[in-house]
């Protein structure tokens, strides 16, 4: 098992993995994703980590390091789009991936790392706790655009 930063060639495999995260989302073709993917790879604050096993990508997450003006100007980080291929869950893959993401954040001086999940499953919440995250320390709020309303 190898944990590494994604490369441009990993787009198709990550697109496929993301179907395990959001199976109801339409799988856009890579041609529609390529400009976003290239922007992510070019941004030094964004780290798309992948787990590779036997030449196959089996897990991924995105770590974003955010510059900050508080906490002695120490950055903070966000982890998003954590997904492990369904055939490789409950084998320590996701935990190893999150540990690598946390290690990267700590090595860049982050004072905290935030992660949100929409899952209410106790097993998922325990997974994140076992990976080093604590629930109940802060309250998360989420805003989404109102459908049909024009935003300026």
Q: Do the strands 76-84 and 113-115 form a parallel or antiparallel pair, or are they unpaired?
A: parallel
Residue 46 has pLDDT above 80, yes or no: yes
Structure confidence at residue 143 (pLDDT)? 92
The Cα–Cα gap between 59 and 51 comes to 5
Size of the chain in residues: 152
Q: How confident is the model at residue 152 (pLDDT cuts 50, 70, 90)?
A: low
Computed on alpha carbons and rounded to an integer, the radius of gyration of the chain in Å comes to: 16
Collapsing DSSP to helix, strand or coil, 23 comes out as coil
pLDDT at 37: 97
Pick the range with the lowest mean pLDDT from 15-24, 79-88, 92-101.
Answer: 15-24
- Over 80: is that where the pLDDT of 150 sits? no
Spans of all domains in the chain: 2-130
| pLDDT over threshold 80, residue 149 | no
Looking at residue 105, what is its pLDDT? 98
**Yes or no: domain 2-130 corresponds to CATH 3.40.630.30:** yes
Q: What single string gives the DSSP state of each residue in 44-72?
A: TTEEEEEEEETTEEEEEEEEEEE--SSGG
Environment class of 26 (CB within 10 Å of its CB; exposed 0-12, middle 13-18, buried 19+): exposed
For the chain, the average pLDDT equals: 93
pTM as predicted: 0.90
CA distance 47 to 111: 17
Q: What percent of the chain has pLDDT over 70?
A: 97
């Amino acid at each position: 098992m190898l944990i590494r930063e994604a490369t441009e060639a990993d787009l198709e495999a990550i697109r496929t993995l993301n179907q395990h995260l959001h199976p109801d989302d339409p799988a856009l073709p890579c041609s529609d994703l390529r400009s976003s993917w290239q922007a992510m790879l070019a941004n030094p604050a964004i780290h798309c980590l992948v787990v590779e096993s036997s030449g196959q990508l089996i897990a991924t997450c995105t770590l974003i390091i955010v510059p900050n003006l508080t906490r002695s100007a120490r950055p903070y980080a966000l982890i998003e789009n954590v997904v492990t291929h369904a055939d490789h869950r409950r084998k320590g893959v996701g935990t190893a991936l999150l540990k690598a993401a946390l290690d990267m954040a700590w090595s860049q001086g982050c004072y905290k790392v935030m992660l949100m999940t929409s899952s209410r499953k106790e097993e998922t919440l325990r997974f994140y706790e076992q990976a080093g995250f604590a629930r109940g320390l802060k309250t998360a709020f989420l805003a989404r655009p109102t459908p049909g309303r024009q935003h300026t």
